[in-house]
Amino acid sequence: MRRTVAAALALLALVALAGCNAPVDGEGRPDPVFDRIGWEAGHWYDDPIRVSTGDGLNERERAAVVARAMARIEHLRGKEFREPVPVDVISREAYSERYGGGGGRDRFDDQVYEALLLVGENSSTADDRGQALDASVQGFYSSRSGEIVLVSDSATPTVDRSTLVHELVHALQHQQLSLGVATETQDARRAQLSVIEGEANNLQTMYADRCGRAWDCIDRPARQGGGGGGNSDLNVGLFLTIYAPYATGPGFVEAIRDRGGWAAVDALYEQFPTSTEQVIHPEAYPDAEPVSVTVADRSTDEWNRYDRDPPGDRAGEAAIYAMLWANGAVDVQGRAVYDYESRYSAGWAGDRIVPYRNGGRGGYVWASRWDTTADAREFVRAYRAILGSRASQRSAQNVYVLPDSDPFDDAFRVTRDGRRVRIVNGPTVGALSAIGGDE
């Protein structure tokens, strides 16, 4: 069965770090003649500033906080901001009105996430994703406008320094490196975002570790009950796919930095990891490339693929882990839910989900390759256990039919041939052959 929302509420605190003491005013060093690393807009990285956080920050105070945070990020990262970064603070209600919501239905995406047993027949991937972001987002950086928007859960708009630092790192990445993200597969996108978010989270942590010791820092505002904690309708499994870069990226970036310092991290932006497998297992980067998996079209004339080149999408190891966790196949007792490692998803080598449609009806073929026969067997065992616990019919040993009351009320055929696994889905048992051919 799917995990309860209460079991994953800790995931919603994307930027939760320990608070620090309030700053005191004092004299800083004189301004340099030219801009330099560790100084921004009249503030050195170790300057004290006088601000009052209890009633929010006025325009002057906010400018000082932002400038000093930029100088501190420069000091930690060794890179210079080339342009000022505007910062706006809005309420969560204003965020939802301006940027939130779903976006209707994308039948292709719906079928991909249905294959992952994360978005059911009567749900929308776009709506579920929008709901998760509306509830949990604390801020974002827009590479188009060069602006940071911070979301405040309090009646008086406040600045959370950790969120500010995180988004300022994205601004620095945009100015000095690259925020370009692959679009071919969801797996490649998550892998690239793991570098971007992983570095931001690492610098956010480095910044927080100096607060109260080496640096004076503004207090972090108390949480006001926002962040989606009481949202019982949250699609936690889908949220796990969104959260993957934040959870796995920091460890990956730290491992690469251990290899060759910040220069090695810089090089990641020239050669991003190509799969979430490489991020979850840093030792696999850069040599363990995902294998190319193709799905031969065996469908009848009534069933058509979506117009994509190449056809379909790649789920990847992180999304497969999210599927297994959300459907109760991963035992997380005594370990972190969000380490994205399990015996059933490890050994992934490549996959392809190809959605089909016949009028208003949908189906898909999901083919995957695994490093060893044992790895493929483990994955099939877990996937079949999920279906078997919910099936109302078994017309054949490898065919499962889920009841109308189930969010995934379809027929499934699951087969394995050595290291290869093939899952065919359709609205009826008869549709399985029409979509995926006979086996």
Domain boundaries, the chain: 5-279, 304-436
Whether the Cβ atoms of residue 200 and residue 168 lie closer than 8 Å to each other? no
Residue 414's DSSP bridge partners are 423
Which DSSP string corresponds to 105-154? Answer: --HHHHHHHHHTTSS-TT--HHHHHHHHHHHH--EEEETTTTEEEEEE-S
Going by C-beta distance under 8 Å and a sequence separation of 6 or more, which residues neighbour residue 6? Answer: none
Distance from C-alpha of 52 to C-alpha of 367, rounded to nearest angstrom: 57
pLDDT for position 137: 87
Q: What is the pLDDT of residue 3?
A: 44
Is 402 within 8 Å of 394 (Cβ atoms)?
no
**Interior angle at CA 12, CA 185 and CA 211, nearest 5:** 110
Q: Is 212 helix (H, G, I), strand (E, B) or coil?
A: coil
**Which pLDDT tens digit goes with each residue over 289-314?**
999 999 999 999 999 999 999 999 99
Give the per-residue pLDDT at 183. 77
Contacts of 438 (CB under 8 A, 6+ apart): none
Residue 322 parent element (H or E): helix 316-326
Q: What pLDDT is attached to residue 28?
A: 61
Distance of CA 2 to the CA centre of its chain: 20
Kindly give the parts of the chain with pLDDT less than 50: 1-27, 225-230
Q: What is the pLDDT of residue 12?
A: 35
- Return the pLDDT at 2: 44
C-beta separation of 151 from 98 below 8 A:
no
For residue 331, what pLDDT is reported? 81
9 contacts 46 by C-beta, under 8 angstroms: no
Distances (CA, A) of 327 to 98, 214, 227: 33, 45, 24
Closest CA to 132 of 14, 23, 15, 249: 14
Q: Does residue 310 have a cis bond before it (omega within 30 degrees)?
A: yes
Residue closest to 423 by CA, chosen among 378, 374, 387: 387
Q: What is the DSSP letter of 198?
A: H
- Biggest alpha carbon distance in the chain? 80
Entry pTM: 0.90
Please report the pLDDT score of residue 232 as a whole number.
62
